[in-house]
Amino acid sequence: MFTHKNGAIPLYIQIREFLVARISKGEWLPGDIIPSEMQLAQELDVSQGTVRKAITELVEKNVLTRRQGRGTFIANHDIRRALFHFFHISDKAGHKVLPDSKALYCRRKKATQKEISKLQLAPGSKVIRIERIRFLTDKPTILETISLPEHFFNEFGKVNDCSLPNMLYELYEQQFGITIHSANEELRAIAASEHDAALLNLEAGTPLLEIERIALTLEKTPVELRISRCNTKNHHYQNTIF
Amino acid sequence: MFTHKNGAIPLYIQIREFLVARISKGEWLPGDIIPSEMQLAQELDVSQGTVRKAITELVEKNVLTRRQGRGTFIANHDIRRALFHFFHISDKAGHKVLPDSKALYCRRKKATQKEISKLQLAPGSKVIRIERIRFLTDKPTILETISLPEHFFNEFGKVNDCSLPNMLYELYEQQFGITIHSANEELRAIAASEHDAALLNLEAGTPLLEIERIALTLEKTPVELRISRCNTKNHHYQNTIF
DNA sequence: GTCAAGCAGTCTTATATAAGACTATATAAT
DNA sequence: ATTATATAGTCTTATATAAGACTGCTTGAC
């Protein structure tokens, strides 16, 4: 089934890709245990160490989670991961505070040119567009505009009527089987519009940190465009470069 | 010399730390080759695969570089790495453009309270403080204020008289033996001061992206505080979350 | 209920083989 | 004679396999 000599693609990479394919096909769901290293090794007719090396790389990418003595599991992107991995706003002490959220708007709309290009949509596609405000220690601090391709999130309006959970990525995962694995962010300083200013309780023109995020699945398909405007008077965007 | 049973610290981690110690002691300089896996294995009386695992983790941290058939080398933090790893400003097309720099100011000064706390200095320490302006495609776009602890960069003023190279991290490495391995950044939106505005050719009050970076050595010692204020009209800060 | 043994999983280490890169030497062409 | 071109040898990292150690859960004896 798998061999090394055929084209010089290392065995462990072939196996890693084989696992990725099975995972993104939805064969296992988040939290599920996958077969043991030994079982996979037998099934694929390679040694346990080779399976191990393939799995290790997926663990490093946060696709899988290992628990010694238990097994290997599809990573569960729970609230903790969402907060620490995808939420980069900290207070002055450097602590991340879980924000509260209030949805202001939630409609199915024709995609704008920007949404079409950023989300790689077909012209004329529709998106679900959400606007919400987020509170940090009870103060309105972040405005978010979120765009979701309709074809990925079809029953959104039906299942869910603007009563959104705080952490959307959990919703995507649990309700739609879409797991966010990575994201690209662009940050800029902009001036608050009248609209922004009113909602954030500021003067128009106040500098805001704008974060434009495109969230991607394991296979790099863009599934969410999120534009956040953030009052950075008492908070900041924290990034660590390794 | 190294054993596994003594306290359950895996062999490969002991060896990794042993290598880190030798590296940060300055036993090898950037670009130098280190002994082969086989030699190290013999010297430390473990197997080649164990040395390999230790080295692998340092390669992943960009401390070492492997070249098949050649050997393993102390990572050379050349201009390319500095640009792609530590410079996050891109143009609208998402391309990183190498900036030009002009130093405006370069003096030895008493450290401010902020410098003392961010750089973990003793009270009353001195810093070398540099201010410079950076041009992206010939337009003044970024203002930087850089603070360096005097005790790490002693002969700075002497060797170098405000005629700074564009990429400072190369200078730190080559002239002072200080290699930047990681950094913490805090980003905020601020309003341009009169001073900023004049230099960047803007109106005072224009929103600027402020980046406050603390650069660290391999051993997490802070060695540079750099505050950048960036006009994000035609550029943005790019971050990828994996 | 408690505790010990067993089992099923990952984790660590060791060994063998493959593949890439340089060097020295031999050989062929000019 | 000189230069270019193979070629073999050796040193390096890269990959694959196997064996034993460790860990956490379960099950059954008491």
Q: Label residue A143 left, alpha or beta by phi (over 0 means left) and psi (-120 to 50 means alpha).
A: beta
Q: Could you tell me which chain B residue has the CA closest to the CA of A215? A: B241
Query: What is the structure's pLDDT at A161?
Result: 59
Spell out the residues 6+ positions from residue A224 whose beta carbon is closer than 8 angstroms to its own.
A119, A146, A147, A148, A168, A172, A180, A213, A214, A215
Query: What is the structure's pLDDT at B25?
Result: 85
* Closest of A145, A65, A70, A50 to residue A105, by C-alpha: A145
Q: Residue A51: how many CB atoms within 10 A of its CB?
A: 26
The model's pLDDT over B13-60, given as tens digits with 9 standing for 90+, comes to: 989 989 988 888 888 988 889 998 988 988 888 888 889 999 988 988
Per-residue pLDDT band for A78 (boundaries 50, 70, 90) equals confident
Mean pLDDT of A22-41: 90
Per-window interface: B 58-117 vs A, CB < 8 A: 61-62, 85-86, 90
Q: Does the pLDDT of residue B96 top 70, yes or no?
A: yes
Query: What is the structure's pLDDT at B230?
Result: 98
Q: Residue A195: how many CB atoms within 10 A of its CB?
A: 11
Say how far apart CA B148 and CA A126 lie, in whole Å: 52
DSSP state of A96: B
Choose between B46 and A206: higher pLDDT.
A206
Which helix (H) or strand (E) covers residue B44, if one does?
Answer: helix B37-44
Evaluate if the CB of B31 falls below 7 Å from strand D.
Answer: no
Query: What is the structure's pLDDT at B7?
Result: 45
Burial class (CB in 10 A: 0-12, 13-18, 19+), A211: buried
Mean pLDDT of A182-211: 97
Q: Does the pLDDT of residue A174 top 90, yes or no?
A: no
Per-residue pLDDT band for A160 (boundaries 50, 70, 90) equals low
Choose between A43 and A79: higher pLDDT.
A43
How large is the ipTM? 0.87
Residues of A in contact with B209 (CB under 8 A): 187-189, 209
Say how far apart CA A32 and CA A76 lie, in whole Å: 9
Q: How far is B109 from chain A (nearest CA, A)?
A: 26
Query: What is the structure's pLDDT at A6?
Result: 43
Q: Residue B185: how many CB atoms within 10 A of its CB?
A: 21
Query: What is the structure's pLDDT at B6?
Result: 41
Contact between A169 and A144 under an 8 Å Cβ cutoff? The reply is: no
Query: What is the structure's pLDDT at B47?
Result: 86
CB contact under 8 A, B184 and A237: no
The model's pLDDT over A97-147, given as tens digits with 9 standing for 90+, comes to: 889 999 998 889 999 999 999 999 999 999 999 999 999 999 999 999 999
**Average pLDDT score over chain A:** 90
Mean pLDDT of A209-226: 96
Say how far apart CA B145 and CA B105 lie, in whole Å: 9
Q: Does the pLDDT of residue A224 top 90, yes or no?
A: yes
CB contact under 8 A, B187 and A232: yes
Residues of B in contact with A236 (CB under 8 A): 186-188, 212
Query: What is the structure's pLDDT at B9?
Result: 72
Mean pLDDT of A1-16: 72
Query: What is the structure's pLDDT at B159?
Result: 46
CB contact under 8 A, B241 and A189: no
Q: Does the pLDDT of residue A159 top 60, yes or no?
A: no
Rg (CA), chain B: 21
Q: Does any CB of chain A come closer than 8 Å to the CB of residue B165? A: no
Nearest to A187 among B62, B239, B240 (CB): B239
Per-residue pLDDT band for B189 (boundaries 50, 70, 90) equals very high
Mean pLDDT of A5-19: 79
Say how far apart CA A100 and CA B224 lie, in whole Å: 36
- Among B117, B186, B226, the residue to mutate for chain A (most A Cβ within 10 A): B186
CB contact under 8 A, A189 and B189: yes
Q: Which of A61-65, B108-112, B123-127, B197-201 has the lowest mean pLDDT?
A: A61-65
Mean pLDDT of B103-132: 95
